[in-house]
Chain A
Amino acid sequence: GENVEQHPSTLSVQEGDSAVIKCTYSDSASNYFPWYKQELGKGPQLIIDIRSNVGEKKDQRIAVTLNKTAKHFSLHITETQPEDSAVYFCAASSERSSTLGRLYFGRGTQLTVWP
């Protein structure tokens, strides 16, 4: 099955700085790559996603890039704010009917933004 690795496991930045989280995947059939933010005591919240026919996607301060050849994708958060502090998970899946609903998650990155 798919194997998703995520780095770093912890990341501390000063408010206003940028944060970058990187993930790699193993299955070339994977074509959907979402990112989730999980705050303490809550479920994961989908913040952005990208499909393999796109190399980059941006939503305000958040952007995701995908390199299919190297099988890696990254989350970029600019102008970080204290409320960005949370655990971030990358995930990968193949949007085939036999695998829908099954995401392979990375181990998560604890992001702390210091004021």
Chain B
Amino acid sequence: KAGVTQTPRYLIKTRGQQVTLSCSPISGHRSVSWYQQTPGQGLQFLFEYFSETQRNKGNFPGRFSGRQFSNSRSEMNVSTLELGDSALYLCASSFGQTGELFFGEGSRLTVL
């Protein structure tokens, strides 16, 4: 059974640009959550989507947004990038009825 797939794995952007990250959940999973991981702040929750609806949102500015498609695939977008947005962005999927999350390998974003 394929795991959670995130693309791209690595990317470099400059301040002011925007970026879109993609996540394909485990087959059959209807929930996708996004997390930001940094050495300073650890793992922080961004948002969660279930059946194309944002069900939960963390404390991040509006520059961070996401969406989920009918096939459960999800994308997150960060606009007007700042140096502090450099992080590993992790996607996790689940059936959506329990707390069990299965993470992908992450997309490592570097903002210069």
A interface, CB within 8 angstroms of B: 32, 34, 36, 41-46, 49, 89, 91, 93, 95, 97-108
Q: Are A108 and B42 in contact (CB under 8 A)?
A: yes
Q: Are A95 and B98 in contact (CB under 8 A)?
A: yes
Q: Are A105 and B43 in contact (CB under 8 A)?
A: yes
Chain B: CB-nearest residue to A107: B42
CB distance from A101 to the nearest CB of B (A): 3
Q: 26 A-B Cβ contacts within 8 A?
A: A36-B103, A41-B105, A42-B106, A43-B103, A43-B104, A43-B106, A45-B103, A46-B102, A49-B100, A95-B98, A95-B99, A97-B55, A98-B56, A100-B48, A100-B50, A100-B56, A100-B98, A101-B45, A101-B50, A101-B56, A101-B96, A102-B33, A102-B45, A102-B56, A105-B44, A107-B42
- Interface of chain B, helix or strand or loop or mixed? strand
- Interface of chain A, helix or strand or loop or mixed? loop
How many residues of B sit at the interface, in one of the four size bands?
20 to 34
B interface, CB within 8 angstroms of A: 4, 31-33, 42-45, 48, 50, 55-56, 58, 90, 92, 94, 96-106
Residues of A within 8 A of B96 (CB): 100-101
- Find B90's partner among A43, A97, A102 (CB 8 Å cutoff): A43
